[in-house]
Amino acid sequence: METNLAPHSRLSEKAYEAIKEYILTSDIEEMLPGSRVDEKQLLVKLNMSRTPVREAINRLVAEGFLQVVPYKGVFVAKKTREEILCILMVRATLEGMAARLATHNFSPEDFDTMRQMFAHFSDSSLTEQRFEFSKANIQFHEFILERSRCGTLIEISRGLFDHIKLIRFRTSAFYPRLKSALAQHMKLVDVFEERDSDLAERLMREHIEESAHYVDEWEKIHGDSLAMDVR
């Protein structure tokens, strides 16, 4: 029996990973938060039968990445302002602790590695390079999480990262946030190098909590259209 189930399980897992990646990284209109998921298009795109794709969709619904609207279909989940703020506050707490734990685990080479992640960015180029900056930002935070060497903390935080990727926030409207984030990253590396765990935890929390301010700014400009990208 296990032999027969294994191929099916692999297909379902493959569909899950592909659809989730498509949701979290695609900038096309069909996969933005609030958009309806076209199951037929997914079947063609993934070249799979309906069963593994539906199983993957059900799993993504359970995890909060998709939502079912009765009589209308399945949609990419759209976070409310309150949900976004909750995610940011929990993330600030977890990553603040990760920064504290990681402070004494960094090697001398790690400081150069972190600085190199942002070496090709400047204040004047951030708006044009916002998507590249987003990727470097995630890489930076995941690097710190890894150096915390706390498996439970890493697992929970990565789950939050996926939900953060789902939140599409038009960062080009908030150039000051990009500029301050770059400066804060560099300051954090300096603090890590000084082995100041108390300050590292505080700065990391403040760095993430600052995003909450821009949630409110977005709401002022766009009303309740909180389709955000805080990557």
Q: What residue type is assigned to position 13 of the chain?
A: E
Of 41, 76, 111, which residue is a domain's last? Answer: 76
Q: Are residues 88 and 69 in the same domain?
A: no
pLDDT at 115 > cutoff 90: yes
CA distance 97 to 48: 42
Q: Are residues 114 and 130 in the same domain?
A: yes
Of 44, 76, 108, which residue is a domain's last? Answer: 76
pLDDT bucket at 226, cuts 50 / 70 / 90: very low
Burial 30-67 (b: 16+ CB within 10 A, else e): ebbbebebeeeebbeebebeeebbbbbbebbeeeebbe
User: Residue 67 belongs to what H/E stretch?
Assistant: strand 66-69
CA distance 186 to 111: 10
What average pLDDT does the chain have? 84
DSSP state of 36: B
pLDDT bucket at 1, cuts 50 / 70 / 90: very low
Q: Are residues 117 and 177 in the same domain?
A: yes
Domain range spanning residue 191? Answer: 81-222
Of 76, 104, 130, which residue is a domain's last? Answer: 76
Residue 177 has what pLDDT?
80
CA distance 21 to 23: 5
**Cβ(30)–Cβ(38) below 8 Å:** yes
Q: Are residues 99 and 179 in the same domain?
A: yes
Residue 143 has what pLDDT?
97
Q: Are residues 14 and 111 in the same domain?
A: no
Percent of the chain with pLDDT over 90: 51
Q: What residue type is assigned to position 65 of the chain?
A: F
CA distance 86 to 94: 12
**Cβ(12)–Cβ(20) below 8 Å:** no
User: Residue 56 belongs to what H/E stretch?
Assistant: helix 50-62
pLDDT at 180 > cutoff 70: yes
**Cβ(188)–Cβ(200) below 8 Å:** yes
CA distance 231 to 225: 17
DSSP state of 65: S
Percent of the chain with pLDDT over 70: 84
Q: Residue 229 domain-assigned? A: no
Q: Are residues 143 and 69 in the same domain?
A: no
CATH of the domain at 139: 1.20.120.530
Q: Which two tokens stand for residue 116?
A: 């190199």
Tens of pLDDT, residues 74-90? 999 888 888 888 888 99
Tens of pLDDT, residues 41-70? 889 989 999 999 999 999 999 998 999 999
